[in-house]
Amino acid sequence: MAAQAQQETAVDAAADSVREREISVEQEHLDRVYRRLEEKIHEAEFLMNDAAKRGQVGTPGALAERDAQVFRAGVHLNRLNNEFEDFLFGRIDLLLGKDGKKGPDGAYTAVEPADGAVREDDTADIAETLHIGRIGVLDSEYAPLVIDWRAPAAAPFYRSTPVDPGRVVRRRVIRSKGRRVLGVEDDLMRPELTAFLDGDSLPVIGDGALMAALGQARGHTMRDIVASIQAEQDLVIRAPAASVTYVEGGPGTGKTAVALHRAAYLLYQDRRRYAGGILIVSPTPLLVSYTEGVLPSLGEEGQVAIRAIGSLVDGAEATLYDSPSVARSKGSHRMLGVLRKAARGALESGRGGGPGGLENGGRGGSRSGRRSASGRRGEGAGQLAFVDPDEHGDPGEHGERNGVSGWGSGASSGGTPQRLRVVAFGRRLELEGPELERVRQVALGGTAPVNLLRPRARKLLLDALWERSGAAGRHTDPELAAELRSSFDEDVTSEDSFIEFLDVWWPELTPGDVLSAMADERRLGRWARRILNPGEIRKVARSLRRDGHSVHDIAMLDELQSILGTPARPRKRRDLDPLDQLTGLEELMPVREESQRERAERLAAERVEYAHVIVDEAQDLTPMQWRMVGRRGRHATWTVVGDPAQSSWSDPDEAAEARDEALGTRPRRRFELTVNYRNPAEIADLAAKVLALAMPGAESPRAVRSTGVVPRFRAVGDSLAATVRAESERLLAQVDGTVGVVVAMQRREEARRWLTGLGDRVVALGSLEAKGLEYDATIVVSPAEIADESPAGLRVLYVALTRATQQLTVVSGERDEPDAHGVPDLLRD
């Protein structure tokens, strides 16, 4: 025994010394990389000083090249200063390739080994070693010191597998912090070979980087997976950007991670095309804040807008959730018909004073409202309030919603005027209610945006007044008749009473005006007749009387913006330019043309469309939301990731139809992700029971690891609060990272109180907010309550059960009917 122990100690010591040696090999390389980067920085600083000294000297081409170099060096400097945890994270050792061609990054391009690369006795020499990192670095001879992870030469690092190894013999993940290498983990892709590097046999360290990554504790923000992207994920990340890339996969298969890495990849591939033009749509503000650090960690800042579905419209931010039944009415395609009628009908309400509503053209709006990958979250972007209008107090039977945000206004406080009185050609002329109504209906004929119909309505009013005046028959000569008519029109339109009347009778409506008008149940009843049933009308109107907007209101506002249209605004008169006054040009050109730069700035500020749209958790978009997102990517290429089994929308077929409409006839490339990297098998197996109820026949993804820790079941003792609190304390002691307590939506506030004083490693969240998030440990409170909360409740429960990376506790509530072991009926075999 002692001899065996001695032998084992000797083997361990030998392994340790090989590991140390390999770490120092990588340390040497990292030192070289940093030396080279410092050289580049000095070069850049020299160039900058030199340029300053020489002023404008140099050909335009040389100056542009110098600027580009200074810029690149600046980027390197910036990255270096960030002191990435792992600037350099990978290495591959490759066999000789089939051809001897080198790519732009200095690496050989061949994927397959040359015919003689492996000798008959299964020995081979390593012909090329590549290091992979967050950005590419070349040495002074233009040989690659580090390959950018997105470059084609880096693809084998992710794609090579023992089944299809290509040229890769050994793949190594390097763990470093700042300038220090901390560890290495190897995977052998060709274990059958005895490979030599510079005459020595190739050492292999550790047992794989993926498991090490998955075992790490979770924090409140997502980490990138750049060092351990798996082959099936890499195919999606690097898929060509043409048309629609459509990705399905179960919980934890890396869909969100893949979507974010794909954004970084697309920018790398074609920066000119995508800079500033990638939109990532996320289901909740919580998921936005969870994921928004990933792109900066991949070296991409600012060019990608990550926005929650309730924050897509500038100037309006969702702060509320609707109850499932109201959400169902508001999100459904039927709402489109209601909004079209309401937009036209709201004119009757006139437009009272009020704060004026979000200016037309609000969609897209100012840049400041947009959230970028690097930007801070705006206020109010955390958890949304959940108010069920079916169960809570009515904020006023027919009252107006409070126009607190930019989109609200008191549209219906005035009422439409019933009489137009003007004096023309010395006569008093009047149009009364029925005539005015007739004119309005004629003006509204067709489908043109309501706000763009005002000139037409004005013309029809003048026609009616002209008719009343009896002046029409005064001249038979057409020229004289036309002259008379034009002076009549001038007479009328210069009258204050006419201008004031038109402003009230045909106001320029904002989306907020129309939504406010819809808060009146009687009016909504008229507009929604035969589209919504009376119960729906009552609930929707009531929900619109709350302060603030719900997630579903935002899609309605956006739709209304396109139904109402934005009238062209007169261009701003410029300030007088003394030079123009000297030349007298001011008179000839009263309106100055926009400069090139002004135009570019204006277009950027007004941008509502993107070059690429990535939709995360796509299964949750309602038909109205698909329309909203679709408007932002009419000419875009798309990446759509989702999982039908996690859909919280009650009618997935209807949503799929709306998705197809938004994506149009663009061809789709479908991908499937099949491996669950989040949940240990013990948790995934439990969740699979709910999946079988929610979507019989659907397959669960395969869990990549198992921890041996089975889920715990707790039946409520004295009180739910005490049980959950005690369990939270227990789990906080067991895991290093975060604990998530998932409850039914209506219990959120209460659940937060249960956890008071336990610190910020533990959070309470409603089932709908758990979308996309993960915690080291989760407590799912009352499965039955979550499942009963909406028609899609079982799928929502499936989401809740698949959030944990290590441990799961299920606490039964009153409705769960736990067995003797505390297992609720929904989770029993």
Ligand X SMILES: Nc1ncnc2c1ncn2[C@@H]1O[C@H](COP(=O)(O)OP(=O)(O)OP(=O)(O)O)[C@@H](O)[C@H]1O
Is 791 annotated as ligand-binding? no
Residues 6+ apart with CB under 8 A from 459: none
- Nearest approach, Cβ of residue 321 and ligand X (Å): 19
Nearest to 509 by CA among 389, 690, 352: 352
| Contact (CB, 8 A) for 509 and 451 | yes
What does the buried/exposed string (b/e) look like for 418-433 if buried means 16 or more CB atoms within 10 Å of the residue's CB? eebebebeeeebebee
Is 805 annotated as ligand-binding? no
Q: 30 or 260: whose CB is closer to ligand X?
A: 260
Residues 6+ apart with CB under 8 A from 730: none
- Nearest approach, Cβ of residue 90 and ligand X (Å): 12
- Nearest approach, Cβ of residue 812 and ligand X (Å): 24
Is 534 annotated as ligand-binding? no
Q: 538 or 705: whose CB is closer to ligand X?
A: 705
| Contact (CB, 8 A) for 794 and 690 | yes
| Contact (CB, 8 A) for 615 and 595 | no
Which DSSP category does 451 fall into?
G
Q: What is the DSSP string of 722-791?
A: HHHHHHHHHHHHH-SS-EEEEE-GGGHHHHHHHTTTS-TTEEEEEGGGGTT--EEEEEEE-HHHHHHTST
Is 252 annotated as ligand-binding? yes
Nearest to 193 by CA among 121, 104, 278, 136: 121
CA distance linking residue 375 with residue 377, whole number of Å: 6
Is 254 annotated as ligand-binding? yes
- Nearest approach, Cβ of residue 262 and ligand X (Å): 11
Is 276 annotated as ligand-binding? no
Strands 804-812 and 775-781, by their bridges, are parallel
Element (H, E) at 279: strand 278-282
CA distance linking residue 726 with residue 574, whole number of Å: 68
494: how many CB neighbours lie within 10 A of its CB?
A: 10
- Nearest approach, Cβ of residue 337 and ligand X (Å): 33
Q: 216 or 486: whose CB is closer to ligand X?
A: 216
Angle at CA of residue 163, ends 158 and 166, nearest 5°: 60
Q: 720 or 780: whose CB is closer to ligand X?
A: 780
- Nearest approach, Cβ of residue 616 and ligand X (Å): 7
- Nearest approach, Cβ of residue 533 and ligand X (Å): 34
Please say whether the dihedral angle defined by the alpha carbons of residues 165, 166, 169 and 173, taken in this order, is positive or negative: negative
CA distance linking residue 216 with residue 736, whole number of Å: 9
Is 707 annotated as ligand-binding? no
- Nearest approach, Cβ of residue 664 and ligand X (Å): 25
- Nearest approach, Cβ of residue 228 and ligand X (Å): 4
Q: 208 or 356: whose CB is closer to ligand X?
A: 208
Is 708 annotated as ligand-binding? no
- Nearest approach, Cβ of residue 707 and ligand X (Å): 14
Q: 132 or 257: whose CB is closer to ligand X?
A: 257
Q: 132 or 544: whose CB is closer to ligand X?
A: 132
Residues contributing to the site for ligand X (CB under 6 A):
210, 213-214, 223, 225, 228-230, 233, 249, 251-257, 643, 646, 677-678, 772, 774, 802
Q: 230 or 561: whose CB is closer to ligand X?
A: 230
Q: 249 or 511: whose CB is closer to ligand X?
A: 249
Q: 484 or 618: whose CB is closer to ligand X?
A: 618
CA distance linking residue 175 with residue 86, whole number of Å: 6
Q: What is the 3-state secondary structure (H, E, C) of 540-604?
A: HHHHCCCCCEEHHHHHHHHHHHHHHCCCCCCCCCCCCCHHHHHHCHHHHCCCCCCCHHHHHHHHH
Which DSSP category does 56 fall into?
T
Binding-site entries for ATP: 249-256
Binding-site entries: 249-256
